[in-house]
Structures are given as structure tokens and as C-alpha cells.
Amino acid sequence: MNTPRIAIVGAGISGICMGVALRRAGFTDFTLFEKGADYGGTWRDNVYPGLVCDVPSRYYQFTFAMNPEWSRLYSTGPEIKDYLVGVAHDHGLREHTRFGVEVTAAEFTGDGWRVSGSDGRVERFDFVLCATGFLHRPNLPDIPGLDEFRGTVMHSARWRDDVELTGKRVGVIGTGSTGTQLVGALAGQVPKVVMFQRTPQWILPTVNRAYTGVSKQLYRRIPLLGKASYHLNRGFFAAFSQGLVHPGRVRTFIQWVVARNLRSVEDPVLRRKLTPDYQAMCKRLVVSDRFYRAIQRPDVELVTEGIDHIDEHGVVTADGVHHDLDILLLATGFDSHAFMRPMAITGTDGRTLDEAWAAGPRAFEGVMMPDFPNLFMLVGPHSPFANHPLTAVAEAQSARIVGWLTRWRAGEFETVAPTRAATDRYNARMRAAAPSTVWTTGCQSWYLGKDGLPELWPWTPSAYEKLIRSTPTAADYRLSQRAVTRK
């Protein structure tokens, strides 16, 4: 039987998921390249105080590695990272993983892919599977004077444990999931928190209760409970996603819930400042059990005046007010369109990824591209789904990729890539559907691409799973046949 040599780039959620899927399908010749020192991707990089996943623990996990030990309804970042490390070790990925090696380039040679690593090695692979994630390149704000600040400046994804927060006045720029979590965690722990808000966010209320010893015992003893809980959450998210992609009752209901939640802010002036002028879910919905409580504290200040510049001692807003600070936290998000960059990827006829994506990241069914044979992506363009868990997306996409690898192993083809026509059709359908989604209802967000349309799948996650788990349509692909049989 032919055995493909496979490179997986990235050992976060999707890389781990892919590695496990390969092993389970009997593929043994694969290398998992990871530039960091451990598994976990975003959950390894993000260690800021207050980091909690806003998808329930019992849903934010792999179906092949159900964990009865989750401590709370919503897990903390470190707990998820430990879970992912455990999955990787339990499924034998350690022997396949090369930590500290960044893939710098991958070039299709006509006889597979030539992959260059930061360790100077250049190797040949039959397939390259990119599991590089999309929220890893920090978006650093271009604010005049940022370099002049004498205190400490940290982006939320570059947290430094050596920075002492005790007794410090802390500024937080950004009001997304990260900024609200930071403010929720720091309020009351430091003498002063100043949140700089450019745009207010709608907040979905929640309660993060702990699982009792008895309930964990039950989940341990009755695995069916874990599965039931997973599917219950899946049903809830499926209902929620209807509101994302169609106007209607779900959207109206969520709007009502967040507006009601906002009423818990007692001061009408503060409430007005926190009131968005766009529909709920247009930006990624923030889920929090503590933000409104935190922002109403006397030691927390919300600044809505625009930032003019930063000087040695703090932030100066457009009204001329100087906000004295010791630490400035940038919760300013990520370049979500960077996808596999800065890797230099070159497909057939010298076509580079940057050329192919000059108008923005485009793929076929989220996982493949024309002109880049035998290259697959996990959680690639248009496959993130707002608040939907990436664990589920990665599982479905891994199954599709394993399907192709199995066909290669059976000798059905040498290389596969989608046709340009199929890819164009697929992207045109998505663009046509985009206007009915909530993401185009009048707000700025990281979901939007250069053309102002969301780079998200514009239908429900279950519709995507159905598509990606179906048998690929032969006419959509160009397959080349094997000239010689490999050993």
C-alpha cells in the first residue's frame, strides 16, 4: 500500500485534531510542525487574566476525547490548554511533533511539496495540511506615541508573567471578548482600570457555574451523559446560528436579551455610553457574567473619547484629558485575514499564495485551493463560524481530508486540487448569501474582508458540516494520475 508523507503545520486545535484523525485512519508517516514550545495554539498563546472560553466546556471539546473532568460550565484558558495537551499525548502525537520549528516556506515542485523549516531542514512531503489558525497575528494599533510610553505595554496575546499588576493603574484598549474579560478580571484587583472604548459591544449574559464532584462522578461513570450534553449544546448553537444567518425570531430574541442585560447598568449616562448603534451579533457577540458589574465599579472608568496620542505617562484623549497609567493592555484583536501567512506558499507555475489571495482569502469548501495541489487547510477561509466551536469544524474538515488521503493511498490519484470554476462558483454563492447575515447589518468587525463582506460561511454550521462530510463531487476537482508507483 502507498504511504503518503504528510506535513501538518500547527499544533493547535485543528493540528491536533488532524493528527489524531491521521493516526486513527492508519497514516503513520506524518510530521506535526509547531513553532511554539507546546501544543494548544491560541490557548497556549493567550494567558491573560480572566480568559474563559465563551462556548460551554461540554461542547468545546473533541467528540473522540470527551472530558468528564471539566471544572466549570465555561472553561478557563489554562484548562483548555491542558485538555489539548492531554489529547495530543494520549493519541500518540508526541513522536510526530517537532516543536520550535516554524515552517517558513512550502513549494509545490511537481513531485510533491518542498517544505522548509526554521531549523534549516528542507524536506519533501506528498501533502501539506495547514492548521495554522487565524487569530494569531496581533493587531497592534497605530496610535501616535505608543513607543514613548514608559510603563509596560502588552498585547493580550503576548502576556508577560513577569509584569506585576498589583498596585498599578491599568489601561485597556479594546472592548471585544478580550477587553471585556480583562476588565472583568482586573476590576477590584488593581487600584484603577481605565477602559478605552472606540465602539461599545452588546453583551450576552451568562452564569459560569462550577461542576460539583457528584456531577463529575456521573459524567465519568456514564459516558452517554457527556454525549447527550454535547448534542444538547449543539442543538442550542444550531438554533442560535439561525439568528446569525437569517433575519427573524432568533435575531429579535437575542437583541431583546442583550438589551435587557444592558439595563442592569444603573447609571443612565454610563448605559448610554455602553449602548451600541448596531444589531446584536453584527460583531462577534461578547458573552460575559461580569463585565457590566465591573464597569460600574468606582475604580473602573470607561473612556469613550477617542485616543489622540500616548505619552510617557499615559493616554491623552481628544478632549485633552491625560489618563495616567502604569500599564497599557492592547486588547486590539488580530489580523484575522493573515491565515497561513507569513509562510511563503508557492503552488503550480510559481503561483504564490499572496497572488492567489490578492483580493482576500478564497478557498473551495474552506479546505482547498486551485493551483495548490495536495494542500489542505483546516479552519481556512470562510470556515470560522462566529461563536461556533472550532473543535467541531476541525473534526468535520479532518474527516474530509482523511477521505482524500485514503483515496491517494488506494492509488486513485497523485495530486488533487479543486478547479478554478468550482472555486469561483462556491465563492460567488457565498457572496450572494452574505447580505442576509447579521454581519453585514452595519458595523465594523474582523469578520469583514477587503470587499466589506464577511469572510465567514453565510449559512448554518450544520449545513457546512453536511457539505464537508458529503462525498466530493468529481467534476469539481482536477486529479492527476500517478506516473510511477511509490513504495
Residue numbers at the binding site for ligand NAP (CB under 6 A): 52-54, 135, 141, 143, 156, 173-179, 198-199, 284, 307, 331-334, 444, 446
**Residue 108 or 237 with smaller CB distance to ligand NAP:** 237
- Quick one: which of 83, 105, 104 has its CA closest to 38? 83
**Residue 215 or 444 with smaller CB distance to ligand NAP:** 444
**Least distance to ligand NAP from the beta carbon of 76, Å?**
10
**Least distance to ligand NAP from the beta carbon of 389, Å?**
9
- Quick one: which of 142, 141, 149 has its CA closest to 316? 149
d(CA 131, CA 31): 12
**Residue 141 or 360 with smaller CB distance to ligand NAP:** 141
**Least distance to ligand NAP from the beta carbon of 202, Å?**
12
**Least distance to ligand NAP from the beta carbon of 409, Å?**
36
Question: CA separation (Å) from 118 to 38, 98, 155, 296, 469?
Answer: 16, 11, 25, 48, 35
The C-alpha cell that represents 183 in the structure block = 476588565
**Residue 161 or 277 with smaller CB distance to ligand NAP:** 277
**Least distance to ligand NAP from the beta carbon of 177, Å?**
4
**Residue 156 or 391 with smaller CB distance to ligand NAP:** 156
Q: Are 103 and 117 in contact (CB under 8 A)?
A: yes
Q: Any residues with CB less than 8 A from the CB of 211 and at least 6 apart, and which?
A: 70, 71, 72, 73, 219
The C-alpha cell that represents 168 in the structure block = 498599578
- Quick one: which of 408, 405, 410, 414 has its CA closest to 484? 414
d(CA 362, CA 379): 12
**Least distance to ligand NAP from the beta carbon of 388, Å?**
10
**Residue 128 or 393 with smaller CB distance to ligand NAP:** 393
**Residue 367 or 386 with smaller CB distance to ligand NAP:** 386
Please report, as a single letter, which amino acid is at residue 413.
F
End-to-end CA distance of the chain: 8
CA atoms within 13 A on the CB side of 236: 13
d(CA 384, CA 134): 9
**Residue 132 or 178 with smaller CB distance to ligand NAP:** 178
**Residue 307 or 393 with smaller CB distance to ligand NAP:** 307
**Least distance to ligand NAP from the beta carbon of 149, Å?**
14
Q: Are 381 and 439 in contact (CB under 8 A)?
A: no
Question: How does DSSP classify residue 58?
Answer: T
Q: Any residues with CB less than 8 A from the CB of 82 and at least 6 apart, and which?
A: none
Three-state SS sequence of 266-330: CCHHHHHHCCCCCCCCCCCCEEECCHHHHHCCCCEEEECCCEEEEECCEEEECCCCEEECCEEEE
The residue assigned the cell 489571495 is: 357
**Residue 422 or 453 with smaller CB distance to ligand NAP:** 453
**Least distance to ligand NAP from the beta carbon of 452, Å?**
14
**Least distance to ligand NAP from the beta carbon of 421, Å?**
33
**Residue 321 or 428 with smaller CB distance to ligand NAP:** 321
**Least distance to ligand NAP from the beta carbon of 198, Å?**
3
CA atoms within 13 A on the CB side of 389: 24
**Least distance to ligand NAP from the beta carbon of 428, Å?**
26
